[in-house]
Amino acid sequence: MWKLHFNGALKQYLSQTTKAAITSDAHMYELMSTQRKSRGIWLQVSEQLNVTQQQVHDYFHNTWIKQFFDSFDEHKAELKSIVQSLLGQVHDRSLISQRAIDLFVNLHLKENFHVKSLQQFVHHELQKYKDGFKGKPAVHVEKKKIEVREAEKSLQNPSLTQSSSQEPSEAKSSDISKYILFG
């Protein structure tokens, strides 16, 4: 299978064009991020592997590169919840997508997620909503609207929801609504 030889072909190409002694996949990734003419890269590597340029390009961007990013698998439910919350507030799908990703990334500043994977996940979630509910709000989305309205009220009058032992600056990471309101 050609994918098993991808690293070797990419390493050979980068060694020839950059004259660098490549020491690891991370070094190849670093060199790739500095390359200006990626079209030539895919042509050369694809010829060596006897596959199409598109196959090599897609494999690099959709699979190989992910090894350098944090997985968001354990956070998928959280991202899904953000998307569902935004469905009740924003009607432009591209705006929902961008805002959901921005909010999610801001909640996880110490992690480095592959943005294209986040975009694909959000797109898939939006597509499920569109296909499954044919434009009608789902019950869970209506519930999120209520939660957002309650969060708005509590933010306007914090004394209603805060106990005397809580500090006003304490934030719960599970309370996504407040991030959505001001995101």
Instruction: Kindly report the pTM of this predicted structure.
Output: 0.62
Domain residue spans of the chain:
2-68, 73-182
3-state secondary structure the chain: CHHHHHHHHHHHHHHHHHCCCCCCHHHHHHHHHHCCCHHHHHHHHHHHHCCCHHHHHHHHHHCHHHHHCECCHHHHHHHHHHHHHHHCCCCCHHHHHHHHHHHHHHHCCCCCECHHHHHHHHHHHHHHHHHHHCCCCCHHHHHHHHHHHHHHHHHHCHHHCCCCCCCCCCCCCCCHHHHHHHC
Cα→Cα distances 61→4, 72, 112, 114, 176, Å: 16, 17, 16, 10, 30
- The pLDDT score that the predictor gives to residue 150 is 60
Question: What is the tens place of the pLDDT at every residue in 73-111?
Answer: 999 999 999 999 998 888 888 899 999 999 999 999 999
The structure tokens listed for 176 are 């996504």
Q: d(Cα 148, Cα 145) in Å, to the nearest integer?
A: 5
CA–centroid distance for 128 within its chain: 17
**How do residues 52-75 score in pLDDT, each as one tens digit?**
999 999 999 999 999 999 999 999
